[in-house]
Structure formats: C-alpha cells, structure tokens
Amino acid sequence: MITFITSIVLLLLGYAFYAKFVERVFVINDGQTTPAYEKQDGLDYVPMSWWKGWFIQLLNIAGLGPIFGALAGALYGPVAFLWIVVGCIFAGAVHDYFSGMLSLRHGGAQFPALVARYLGNAVKSAVNVISLILMILVAAAFTAGPAQLLTQLTPLSFMTALIIVFAYFILAAVLPVNQVIGKIYPIFGVILVVMAVSIGVALLFGGKPIPELTVENLHPGELPIWPLLMVTISCGAISGFHSTQSPIVSRTLKKESEGRKVFYGAMIGEGVIALIWAAAGMTFFGGTAGLQEALAAGGPSGVVNEISVSLLGTFGGILAILGVIILPITTGDTALRSSRMILSDWMSSKFDMERKGMVLLMTVVVGVPTFYLSTIDYTFLWRYVGWSNQVVAAVMLWTAVSYLLREGKNHWIAGIPAMFMTGVVCTYIFYAPEGFGWAYNTSMIVGFTLTAVVAALYIRSIFRYKNIASNDKSERTAS
C-alpha cells in the first residue's frame, strides 16, 4: 500500500513542480493569439474552455490503454509502478506537452508537419505512413471491440452494431469539434474518473495487501523488463499515439498557459488511472500468477468486469460495461478524426478544394480501410502497433529536442527520454516475436549499438548548435 500511495503522490508532485519547470523551459506567451481564434473555422478551430480540453485530451489518449495495458503490465510485478511514475512524469507528459504546445505554436500543425519542420521531410514521409497506419488500426480495433460487446449485451447482430458504432465515428470526424466531442466527452470523462477513483478507494479499504516495491518483489516473472514493459505499458507512461491526438485540442485552447493543465495534466491523470488498475490486477488476484490465470480465462475485459463487480457491486458492473464500451469509442472516433485532419492538411497543400469537400473526401479515404479492417481478423497487424507506437513517441521527443536546440533552451528534458525510448524500440524490434525474434543478448547488443549511433548524432548536434549560437553572438558583438 505504501508503494501505491507514494506512486500517486509522486505523480501529483510531478505535475505540481516538474510540469511548471517544463513550461518555463518552453516559455509561454499568453499575449500570442492561439489558432482557435486566428484560424477559427467552426469545425476544427473552435475556442473551448480548458477543462473541456482536459477531458477531451484525457479520453483521446486514454481509451482502454491505461486499463488493459496496465493489467498486462502488472504481470511484471510492482516494477510496473516504477515505470508508470518515472515514465509518465519525465517522458510521457513531456512528450504530450511538446506535441500539444508545438502544434499550438505553429498554427495547430499536425504531428507530421512538426516532424518535417524540425527533423526534415524524409522523416516526415515515414512518420506519415506509420502514424496513419497506427490511427487506422486503433480506430478499427475500437470499432470492432465495442461492437462485439454490444452484440453480447443486446439482440443486435455484429454487423448492425458495427455500423452503429462506425456511423458515430463518421459523425465525430466531420462535425465541429464542439458539437459532438465537446459536449459528450466531459460526461464520458467523468465516468472514467469515477470508475478509477472508486476502484482505487475500494483497494485501499478492501483489506487485501497491495504488493510493495522491494528488491525481492521487484519482478517475479521470467520475461525481461527491458524492453517489454516499456512497450506493454505505453498509454500509462508514454505513447506516440498521443502526439497524433494533441493537435485536436491545440486548435481549441484560448491561451498558451492552458497547455500545462491540458497536455501535461491529462497525461498525469492517465498515469494515476494506470497505477490504480495495475494495483487492482496485482492485488485482487493475489499476485501476478493469479492475474495471469484470470487474463487467460476471461481476457482483459473479463478481468475488468470481475474486479469492478466484486469491489463495487452492481454499480461497479455498470461502470465496467460503460467503460469497456465508451472508452474505446472515445479513442477510436478521434483516431479517425486525426487521420482525416492529417490527410486534409496534406492534400489541401496540393489541391485547391473547398474545405467541406476536402473533409468529406478525406473521411471516406480513411474510413473505408478502417471499416474493412474492423470486419476481419487483422491481429497479425495489431502485433506491430506496440512497437510502431513507441517509434512515434521517440520521433516526437526528437522533434522536441530539435526545437529546444534551435531555440537555445534546455534540450535535456526531451533528450534524455528520447534516448531512452530510442533504446527501447531499437532493442524491442530485434527481440520481439513479431520482430526478428533474436536471442535476448544479441538483441541487446545490436539495439544498444544503434542507440549509441543516435547518441553520437545527438552530441554532434549539440556542438553544432553551440557553434551557431557562438558565431551569432560574435557577429552581434562585432556589429
């Protein structure tokens, strides 16, 4: 229990202190007109209150990630607490803050546009493909999942339920952000928060000991923590998918100082939710072995339902059902909206087309493969989502590093987590079964060799920008 409570306190302290430090490094300017006003169009660029932005951002980035991912990560033992806290404060929240604030600073720019500005068009091309595939897969999975559950709970056939869910996705993708998302997300957000807080309180007063983080109890399993844990628990610590969602909210903020509350704050909120469900998984089933059996028997949705009903009774069962249906929907719809926005921005620079026509056309372009994938078994593709998701996270962090280097600011706040995540993805792709499936030691050697190459490029960039700054200073002094 001490580890659990301490972890939550550390996350809150991270927001109270480190978030403000990151904000001071970025240097906000509330006198600058935000894209919500500068480009106001009644569709994507719409001024909204920051608290609505917080709920939208939380649901955009969360879905079932901090629940299902945290339960899977809990199989690694109490070390999951450590990764959620450290990853969330120093990597995930920093990642989300810069993805949102750089978008805000550059007119509501999408993630690929930011990559092109700071890392070059070659990287942008690869990121465009990866991020679009990632979002389409997420939208497809979060169409099929709720549809399957609706089929179990109602007389609806799977295809009928699928069409209903997807019809909502289309509406959420093409209607003004304040008409659907801005109105219903705060309600859904309250359900998510109440569900997590209720489970957390029940854990604290339920009488079962919550596992502590000790040397003996750090990692009871056999699978290596590095790099598997960092890919298993992504949404609760750091997830590249978030960088594709932040521009939705960056186009609605009224001033730059709201960014810390919305982008950094929503990630801290997600970290707290992930901590609660990781603790619930380890505690309710008497350890990682019991949790593994429960996951094998009923899957993550069955585990969520069993925990919720047992700890909270009928109320918990209702929350569990609502959560497992609503949460994936609130990520799937914005995944489709984000992919539409990225394609619309890219195509509008190439074709002169009416705004409404572009929106509808791009929605169809991304909607067709999304709907098709939701009707077939594409699990062979889904296996690659974890790795590609963290590749996107590393790229976003390197984008932030490039920005900070150019501005002569403290680049280490993004550089250290960027190096860490580079090491994760470089090692994972060689070790994982969906990758090369090499021996662990071989994967470590190759992965860290590649990471060392990236580190050398990083150091070279540091000296290059120092020389540029020094030359600029000399020229100013001479003049």
pLDDT tens profile 371-403: 988 888 767 777 788 888 999 999 999 999 999
Query: Distance (Å, rounded) from C-alpha 456 to C-alpha 443?
Result: 20
Query: Distance (Å, rounded) from C-alpha 302 to C-alpha 298?
Result: 5
pLDDT band at 123 (very low <50, low <70, confident <90, very high): confident
Instruction: Look over the chain and give the mean of its residue pLDDT values, rounded to a whole number.
Output: 88
Write the CA distances from 341 to 209, 231, 379, integer angstroms: 47, 27, 26
Residue 50 half-sphere exposure toward CB, CA atoms < 13 A: 14
The residue with greater pLDDT, 302 or 8, is 8
Count Cβ atoms below 10 Å from residue 213 Cβ, excluding itself. Answer: 18
Q: Which residue, 267, 277, 222, is CA-closest to 80?
A: 277
Contacts of 35 (CB under 8 A, 6+ apart): 45, 104, 107, 108, 250, 251
pLDDT in tens, 60-96: 888 777 888 899 999 999 999 999 999 999 999 999 9
Question: End-to-end distance of the chain based on CA atoms, in angstroms?
Answer: 64
Token pair of 456, please?
Answer: 């050398």
Query: Which domains does the chain possess?
Result: 2-391 (1.20.1740)
User: Burial letters for 126-138: b for 16+ Cβ neighbours within 10 Å, e otherwise?
Assistant: ebbebbbbbbbbb
Q: Is 379 exposed, middle or buried (0-12, 13-18, 19+ CB in 10 A)?
A: exposed
Token pair of 374, please?
Answer: 């939701």
pLDDT at 353: 53
Sequence length of the chain is 479
Count Cβ atoms below 10 Å from residue 280 Cβ, excluding itself. Answer: 29
CA 429 to chain centre: 20
Q: Taking the model in full, what pTM does it have?
A: 0.92
Q: Are 334 and 143 in contact (CB under 8 A)?
A: no
pLDDT band at 476 (very low <50, low <70, confident <90, very high): low
Q: Are 224 and 70 in contact (CB under 8 A)?
A: no
Query: Distance (Å, rounded) from C-alpha 174 to C-alpha 156?
Result: 26
Angle, vertex CA 65, rays to CA 60 and CA 71, nearest 5: 160
Count Cβ atoms below 10 Å from residue 151 Cβ, excluding itself. Answer: 16
pLDDT at 478: 58
Query: Distance (Å, rounded) from C-alpha 76 to C-alpha 80?
Result: 6
Which residue type sits at 162? L
pLDDT in tens, 153-189: 788 898 998 999 889 888 888 888 888 888 888 888 8
Q: Are 259 and 101 in contact (CB under 8 A)?
A: yes
pLDDT in tens, 425-447: 999 999 998 889 999 999 999 99
pLDDT at 419: 98
Q: What is the mean pLDDT of residues 349-369?
A: 72
User: Burial letters for 184-202: b for 16+ Cβ neighbours within 10 Å, e otherwise?
Assistant: bbbebbebbeebbebbbeb
Q: Are 73 and 80 in contact (CB under 8 A)?
A: yes
What phi-psi label fits residue 48: left (phi over 0), alpha (psi between -120 and 50 degrees) or beta? beta
Count Cβ atoms below 10 Å from residue 34 Cβ, excluding itself. Answer: 24
pLDDT at 375: 87
Count Cβ atoms below 10 Å from residue 217 Cβ, excluding itself. Answer: 16
Percent helix, strand, coil in the chain, to 5, is 80, 0, 20
Question: Would you say residue 355 has pLDDT above 70?
Answer: no
